[in-house]
Amino acid sequence: MNEKANGKIAKYVPEIRGTLRDHMINLPLIIRESSGIKVFGKRIKSLAFTTDIAIIKNINADAILAVYPFTPQSVITEALVAASDMPIFCGVGGGLTTGKRVINLALNAEFNGAMGVVVNSPTPNEIVRAVRDAIDIPIIVTVTSERDDIEKRIEAGTSILNVAAGKNSIDLVKKIRKNHPEFPIIATGGKNEENIRKTIEAGANAISYTPPSTAELFKGTMERYRNA
């Protein structure tokens, strides 16, 4: 039954759950209050920051932000896209990995079915521009500091900004939003609901969320096994 809440009709949403797949990671509900970003017709509000396929198969995020601290490899992109039920935005370097290799990795990511590519903060604008000329999927550029020249990033062909400035993320989102009222922004919101809310209020369209590690998730299960 639909009920009115604050003058609006609150729609009842049927939910189907399973016995074996009931134990999954549910992201904080506050993330649903963000506007989201429409990419190829799909509205994305939450992105899980992980490359763990087991977690990817058991999390309710809208998309996956697959960035990792190693040299990007096509085989990793292929495995993630093949295993995931949701869109993948995969890292293609830009820091230690640069130049033509970034362009080739971006092309390969598009050919393998990634919804977008992510380049690191040190990526030169000329590389962003070259990637823009080579692919048709979105380019997400990571922003880590107020020193980043946002205007130049946008001019180079950035599709979405990914704000990852640690404790300064909320302030940086506010600054970018003030100067660019409609530009798409993803931002880290932390695991605290209050911080996520403040990040959304600052102007973030979507939130990247770091799920607990497999070891953290296993901790409670192993305790139960030991006590059984």
In a domain, 40, yes or no: yes
Instruction: Tally the domains of the chain.
Output: 1
The sign of the torsion formed by the CA atoms of 131, 99, 88, 157 equals: negative
Asked whether residue 222 is assigned to any structural domain, the reply reads no
CATH number of the CATH domain containing 203: 3.20.20.60
In a domain, 207, yes or no: yes
In a domain, 65, yes or no: yes
Residue 96 lies in a domain: yes
The tens place of each residue's pLDDT in the chain, 228 residues long, gives 455 555 566 778 787 777 666 678 999 999 999 999 999 999 999 999 999 999 999 999 999 999 999 999 999 999 999 999 999 999 999 877 778 999 999 999 999 999 999 999 999 999 999 999 999 999 999 999 999 999 999 999 999 999 999 999 999 999 999 999 999 999 998 888 999 999 999 999 999 999 998 888 888 778 887 887
Per the structure, the complete domain to which residue 146 belongs is given by 35-211
Closest CA to 155 of 125, 187, 117: 125
Task: Report if residue 28 sits inside a domain.
Answer: no
> Distance between CA 91 and CA 98 in Å, rounded?
12
